[in-house]
Amino acid sequence: MNLLNENSVVDFLISHGIIKWDERVFVEELTGGVSNTVLAIKTDSVDLVLKQALPVLRVAQRWEADPRRAVVEANALKLYHSITPNQVPDLAFLDSEAFVLIMQRVPRDSTVWRTDLLSGKFEFNVADVLGSTLAQWHLYGQAQYAKLQEFRQDELFEQLRIDPFYRYVAGKNPMIQSNIQLLIDELEQQRITLVHGDFSPKNIMVSDAGSVYVLDYEVTNLGNPVFDLAFLLGHLVCKFFRAPKDQEKEIAEMASRFIASYCAKRELPDSLAHHTALIALARVEGKSPVDYLSSHQQNKLQKFTKEVLSSPIGLDTLKLFDTDAK
């Protein structure tokens, strides 16, 4: 598998007719991702982003992943763009043999929502849009489930989500291992809709005009909707445990607005609080830990989430954002 870089990508683009040989082209490597080479491509006529899936992810623990997830992402991009075109960039090109996809770039003034949250910038309309968008996707996937079997990617979801988040954490925590196994069973046995699989603040961008864009669809799968909800909320829990006192209410309100917007269209799963706690715990003890929590904050989050995972299913998810939790 030949990996593209800033030097070799121009010949690739010319050979596939994406750009002309005599066009002036600017190539920039976009950093921050662990699972892809990501290059920005700009000419006078196009403004694009190229992604090539890596066979081994750039994380501390060895983490292999099938690069055909690029094909999954391309198909998902087309589908999600057709459902919510204002939130999803359009697909421009796919090379299924090189595992390369190219999409339209979102407005260049857009910022990563993860960065906004960590810097104390809170725009509640983002949570509103995300909750509504995710509910639309889940409702569509549930209604069209029989027609979406190309997204049945159990092995990819196991490699990229169940193993590094659920099984890896369960192996470290014998006291709650059986409870985590119940959550795994739910994900594996109750597949009812289309799941984004990486619904995280790092994959959400917000333009200066307030438009919200969702990126990174390579883990799209037919699965259980609780995962998408918990994946986003788990990140908010981590940021809640990091936040100074004067930002706790804003992050809790962000979670509340996201949940309310989703609930306006679709009911929440009863197990949401437990999946959210597990995802947050995995961001400390899993294969891909966050880099912004102090040791003290990590310890408090670990203690609290393990208490939640030891409790019966049915806890109100917003209890994870109570000040007493810290």
Is 214 a residue whose pLDDT tops 60?
Answer: yes
Domains of the chain: 9-104 (3.30.200.20), 111-325 (3.90.1200.10)
**Pair type for strands 26-29 and 91-95:** unpaired
Mean pLDDT of 105-126: 96
The pLDDT assigned to 60 comes to: 52
Strand runs labelled E in the chain:
26-29, 36-42, 47-53, 91-95, 100-104, 111-112, 193-195, 204-206, 212-214, 221-223
The pLDDT assigned to 64 comes to: 64
> Which phi and psi (to 5°) does residue 164 adopt?
-75, -20
Distance separating alpha carbons of residues 139 and 158, to the nearest angstrom: 23
**pLDDT-based confidence at residue 68 (cuts at 50, 70, 90):** confident
Compute the Cα dihedral for 46, 151, 225, 65 and give only its sign.
negative
194 Cβ partners below 8 Å, 6+ apart? Answer: 79, 137, 138, 140, 141, 144, 145, 148, 151, 220, 221, 222
| Residue 319: how many other CB atoms lie within 10 Å | 12
Least confident segment among 50-54, 73-77, 107-111, 168-172:
50-54
Instruction: Name the percent of the chain lying above pLDDT 70.
Output: 95
The pLDDT assigned to 10 comes to: 86
The pLDDT assigned to 29 comes to: 87
Least confident segment among 2-11, 21-30, 104-113:
2-11
Which residue bears the tokens 């075109």? 85
Decide if 193 contacts 222 (C-beta within 8 A): yes
The pLDDT assigned to 288 comes to: 84
pTM of the model: 0.91
The pLDDT assigned to 57 comes to: 60
The pLDDT assigned to 224 comes to: 98
Decide if 73 contacts 217 (C-beta within 8 A): yes
Mean pLDDT of 161-178: 96
- With residues binned 3-state (H G I as helix, E B as strand, rest as coil), the percentages for the chain, rounded to 5, are 50, 15, 35
Helix pair 295-310, 177-189: axis angle to 10 deg = 70
Distance separating alpha carbons of residues 125 and 264, to the nearest angstrom: 15
> Which phi and psi (to 5°) does residue 128 adopt?
-60, -50
pLDDT tens for 224-283 read: 999 999 999 999 999 999 999 999 999 999 999 999 999 999 999 999 999 999 999 999
Helix residue ranges, H only, 159-225: 168-172, 177-189
Mean pLDDT of 133-140: 98
**pLDDT-based confidence at residue 53 (cuts at 50, 70, 90):** confident
* Token pair of 264 as six digits: 């306006």
The pLDDT assigned to 160 comes to: 84
**pLDDT-based confidence at residue 61 (cuts at 50, 70, 90):** low
The pLDDT assigned to 1 comes to: 58
Which residue bears the tokens 């196991």? 158
Least confident segment among 33-42, 61-70, 179-188:
61-70
The pLDDT assigned to 166 comes to: 97
Least confident segment among 3-12, 69-78, 115-124:
3-12
